[in-house]
Structure 1
C-alpha cells in the first residue's frame, strides 16, 4: 500500500512533467520570431526530433533499466534529465545572437527533455497502476489528467512571462519545481511491487498482433495530439491573425480540455464505460480538425473554441490505451507503458518534424494539414474498435 507522500509525489510529478513537456511548443512564437531565435518552420520542427528519438529510446530501454536499477532510480534520472533541459533552455537565451550556438543548445535541451519524458512518464503510469490496482483505469486517467493540467498551465505561464518581457521565466520556474520534487522523492521508497510481480503470477501468453495494434493506435494518437500541441499557436498567429496572447489561449484551451476530459471520463466511467469513451473521442477530434481546416482568417476566437474541442477529443485516448494494454497484456505489464509511450513519441516526431518540412518544402498550408489530420483521426476511430473490442479483463 503506497503512503500518502508517495501518491502525492507521483501525482505532483504529473503536473510538473506536463508543464515541462509543453514549455518548448508554448514558446513557439519566441523560437520563430526574428527578434529572438529566428528559426524557420523546418528548424523549429527539427528541434523536436532529438526529443522524440530520445523519448523513444528511453521508453524502450526503461524496462531493462528498471529491472537493473529499480523503478525509483529510473524515475529520479528522468527528473534530473528534465531539470537539465530547463537549465539548457535558460542558457540558450544568453547566446541568441549566435543562432548556430543557440540552436545547438536548444537541441541539447530537447534531447534532455526526451530522456526525461521517456523515463519519467512510464514510471509515473506504472506507479499509478501499482498504487491503485483495483482501479487502474481511474488511477491512470487521474494521473494523466494532472499531466494535462500541467500542459494547460504552460502556455498561460508563457503568455504572462512574455507580457513582462521575461519569457525564460517559465523554464526557471519549472527548474525550481523539478529540483524541489527531486529532493522530496529521494526520501521516499517509491516501489511498484504489484506490477513487478505480475509476470510470475499469470499464465497468459503475449499475443504480438494485439500489442502492435495498441502500438499503432498510440503512434497515430501521437500525430493527432502533436498537430494541436506543437502547431496550434503558429496556426493561430499565422493563419487566423491571432495575437500572441490569443494564440497562447488556444494552446491552453487544447490542454485544458484534455485535462477536463480526463477528469470527466474518469468520474462517469460507471454511467459511460471506458470502451464507449474510447470509441467516441476520435470522432470528436476529427470533426474539430475539419472545422479548423475551414476557418477563415480573422476568426481567432472560434479557433480557440475548436482547439478546445480537439482537446476534449484527445483527452482520454492515450491513458486508456495504456491502461487497456496493462490489463490485457499482463505478461508484459511493466513494459506496456514504456513501449506505448515510445510509439506515441514516434507519432510526435512524425508530426513535429514532418509538418515543418511540409510547410517549408511544399505549397501545403497549416489549414490543409489540419484537414489531412482529420483522416488520421478517422483511422484512429476505426482502430479504437479493434483495441477496445471487448471488456478487457484483469
Structure 2
C-alpha cells in the first residue's frame, strides 16, 4: 500500500467517494415514485416511511462506533467497511426488483436501507476526517469541497432516475461500479488522517469536553431543519398546497441543487470573509427560509423558497465538523463520528416526529415549518455560543502550538 493522503490519488479517493456516497444516499427517496406505484413495489406511505428506520438506526450506530473501530482497525479500514456496506445496499436494491411487489421485496429493501445507513455513518465520518488532513492550513475548504461533492451526488440522483426511467435500476448499478473502484483504490492508497486523528489501538477512549456538546446540539438542530425541507416537501406541496407532483419535484431538486451551490460559494469565499460570520448568518437564513416555505402558495414561490432553503442549509454541517475538529484536534475521528451521529438523530426526529406532532397538535405542514423556524432560531443561538468561545484551545492538548490557516484565520485551529 502506498501513501496517498495528500496526493492526487488520496484526494481523488476522498472526493470521489463523497460523490458516490451522495448518489447512493438518495437512490431510495429518488425512486419513491417507483417504490409507491401500484405497478412498482406498491408500498403504502406508512411502509415507505418505515423503510428508512433501519437506515437511521444503523447510521447513528456506525457514526458513534467509528472512533471505537478506528482504534481497533485504523480509520481507513472503517472507510473500506463503509464502502462495502454501501455496495451491499445497492446490490440489494437492484435484487429487490425480482420479487416485487411482495413481502420478500420489502425485506430486501429494509436490509438495503440498513446497509446504506451503516455505510453512510462509517464513510462520512471517516471522509470528513481524511478531507480535513488533505491540505494542512485549508481544512475548512477541504471539508466543504467534500460536502459539495456529496451534495452534488444527492442532487444528481433524482435527475438521473428520471432520465433513466423505466430502467431506473441502472443508477444503483452505476453506483456499484464506482464503489468497487473506490474499494480497489482504498486498498492500494494509504490515506493520512492527520497527525492528531485520534487515539490508536491500546489507548483510552477520548473523553468529550463539555463544549463539544454545543457542536453536537448544533448538528442535531440542523438535522431537524434540513430534513423538514428534504423529506416533507412532496407531501406539503402536492398535498396541502395542491401544487402537483411536478412542482413538488422541482422544489425538491432546487433545494438539493442549491445546497450544493451554497457549499461551492462558501468554499471559494475570499479569506477576508470570516468563516464564523458565515456560520452565524446561515441559521438566520434558515429561519427566513422556513417562514417563506410556510407561506408558499404558488409554484414559483414554492421553488424559490426551497431554493433559498438550500442555500441557507448549505455549509452548516461541514462548518460544524470543521470547527469542532479545529477546536478539539485530539478527538479526531471521534469528533466527526459523534457529529454525524448527532446529525442523524436530528434526521430521525424530523423524519419520524412530524406525523405524531401533526396528530397531537392539529398543525398542518405549513405550521410545522414555522416550528422549524423556531428550531433554526435556537440553532442561531447555539452558533453564537460556538463562535464566541471558539478560540479556546483543546484542554486535552497541553502547550500545543496552534497551526495557522491560510484561508480562515478566525476559527479554532487544527493541527
Tell me whether the two structures share a fold, i.e. TM-score over 0.5: yes
Residue 208 of structure 1 is matched in structure 2 by 209
User: For residues 174 and 360 of structure 2, what CA distance do their matches in structure 1 show?
Assistant: 37
Residue pair 1:327, 1:333 contacting (<8 A) in 2 also: no
1:269, distance to aligned residue in structure 2 (A): 4.5
Q: Secondary structure at the match of 2:210?
A: helix
Q: Residue 283 of structure 1 corresponds to which residue in structure 2?
A: 284
**Is 1:140 aligned to residue 143 of structure 2?**
yes
The equivalent of 2:156 in structure 1 is 153
Q: 1:365: Cα distance to partner?
A: 3.2
Q: 1:94 aligns with which of 93, 98, 101?
A: 98
> Who is 1:334 aligned against?
333
Q: CA deviation at 1:208?
A: 2.9
Q: Given the alignment, which residue of 73, 76, 79 partners 1:75?
A: 79
1:258 maps to 259
Indicate the residue corresponding to 1:13 in structure 2: 17
CA contact (8 A) 2:225 2:372 kept: yes
Distance 2:44 2:366 in 1: 18
Q: Which residue of 2 aligns with 1:178?
A: 179
**Aligned twin of 1:61:** 65
Distance 1:366 1:96 in 2: 32
Q: Is the 8 A contact 2:86 2:116 kept in 1?
A: yes
Unpaired runs of at least 5, structure 2:
201-205, 391-409
How many residues of Structure 1 are paired with residues of Structure 2 in the alignment?
384
Q: CA deviation digits over 1:115-164, x for unaligned, max 9?
A: 00011011111111111221111111111111111111111112222xx3
Provide the residue aligned with 1:369 in structure 2: 368
Distance 2:226 2:314 in 1: 9
**TM-score, normalised by the number of residues in structure 1:** 0.90
Unaligned runs of 5+ in 1: 200-204
- Give CA-to-partner distance per residue, 1:317-354, whole Å, 9 cap, x none: 00000011001112313310010000001111111122
| Equivalent residues in 2 for 1:7-46, closer than 5 Å | 7-46=11-50
- Distance in 1 (CA, whole Å) between partners of 2:267 and 2:314 is 11
C-alpha contact (below 8 Å) 1:43/1:356 kept by paired residues: no
State yes or no: 1:393 paired with 2:412.
yes
**Which of residues 52, 56, 62 in structure 1 aligns to 2:56?**
52
1: distance between equivalents of 2:197 and 2:246? 46
* Distance in 2 (alpha carbons) for counterparts of 1:235 and 1:174: 30
Shift in Å, 1:185: 2.5
Aligned residue number for residue 114 of structure 2: 111
Structure 2 length as normaliser, TM-score?
0.86
Q: Measure how far apart 1:215 and its partner are.
A: 0.5
- 1 or 2, which has the higher helix percentage? 1
User: SS of the residue aligned with 2:9?
Assistant: helix
Q: Provide the residue aligned with 2:304 in structure 1.
A: 305
Moved more, 278-287 or 229-238: 229-238
Specify whether residues 76 and 242 from structure 1 end up closer, same or farther in structure 2 by C-alpha distance, changes over 3 A only.
farther
Does the Cα contact within 8 Å between 2:198 and 2:330 map onto a contact in 1?
no
Q: Which moved more, 1:309-318 or 1:236-245?
A: 236-245
